[in-house]
Structure 1
């Protein structure tokens, strides 16, 4: 994967926004906290930078959130799986709806299920297979809707649409 200065700069900005907003914008969602901006950024980065760029941004946000003490290890499977599926579906369909849907499926279901063994081995918590699904869904649905609205508005401007698509990986 070869990224240019534009892509790396955008990635750094998205990581910074995702990290900062995780300390400011959250709400309780069952047993967890919902971070809708994380999921919005997953969709935005997946659409603009592709699946690998989306995974990279999600990983770096999760890493920084953990270092700063505002996240848990569960940020990794949800964010990274959701960003990958969002990017993959967008690349296959070129439809924003499918990118947002991919984030919801990837984080809300697959990421939640992947979090079960991680919770057991790293956090010492034994939980049922679908234990994390409701709270992950609340978080990812709200963020995916936000991303859908933001990208839809930006894409209505022809110049902005060209600029956003110029970031896409080859």
Structure 2
């Protein structure tokens, strides 16, 4: 049984690495690779911090060797993968902490470390310590949000714990559906807001003040919806 579990874990790791390499070009620009963060958070929750770190490391090495990606493939992945898994473990299975671990590990730590790596190793000029922070955070918000919503669906289907047990990972009690659904709605707002920024930047030559503020309006609408949903449903959940 233990041998089968180890084999399944290795096969699953290989699958996640292959998937990460294949889907990494989606929405990618230099300094932002949303789908890498989707893989990071998903792997961190399903396999734990050390396996997530290994997965991100292998994906980064393959992307650098085969696709010619700069060292951002590593600095923009390994720290977030590890912190995502560690935060998830320390919080006793809170998905939102896995998401935050990715944002902090990649969006802040990885982004700052990218400056000396890209400057002194890769020879890139004109950078600052915080040059990559905005794009890294944007990428983690998009990819991490997608992962959060995906993992919430696994929880609802009763599959998350089954996958974790099959992989020999730690399992935790069920989270509040209402609270996490509200968080998921809010995260959808962040995604919609960032998509709006990309669309306006690329397809609207001279945006009006209203169009420029549309990203804030969309995010605010989703946050209000999330707050209303939580207010209407948390008492029902408590009674149940």
Q: TM-score, normalised by structure 2?
A: 0.65
Instruction: Pick closer, same or farther for the CA change 1:82–1:168 going to 2, 3 Å.
Output: farther
Residues 1-170 of structure 1: matches in 2 within 5 Å?
4-23=6-25, 25-28=26-29, 32-93=30-91, 94-126=93-125, 127-158=127-158, 160-166=159-165, 167-169=167-169
Compute the displacement of 1:168 (Å).
4.2
Compute the displacement of 1:70 (Å).
4.9
Q: TM-score, normalised by structure 1?
A: 0.90
Compute the displacement of 1:75 (Å).
1.4
In structure 2, how many angstroms separate the alpha carbons of the residues matched to 1:6 and 1:162? 15
CA contact (8 A) 1:22 1:70 kept: no
Q: Which runs of 5+ in 2 are unaligned?
A: 171-240
Off by >4 Å, runs of 4+ in structure 1:
none
2:188 aligns with none
Compute the displacement of 1:164 (Å).
1.9
Q: Could you give the per-residue CA deviations for residues 59-110 of structure 1, whole angstroms, max 9, x where no partner exists?
A: 0110111111252211112200000100000001110000001101100000
Q: Could you give the per-residue CA deviations for residues 103-159 of structure 1, whole angstroms, max 9, x where no partner exists?
A: 01100000000111101122112421100101111111100000000000011112x
Instruction: Pick closer, same or farther for the CA change 1:168–1:42 going to 2, 3 Å.
Output: farther
Instruction: Pick closer, same or farther for the CA change 1:113–1:17 going to 2, 3 Å.
Output: same
CA RMSD across the alignment = 1.7
Structure number with greater CO (CA < 8 Å, separation at least 6) is: 1
Question: Which structure would you say has the larger Rg?
Answer: 2
SS at match of 1:5: helix
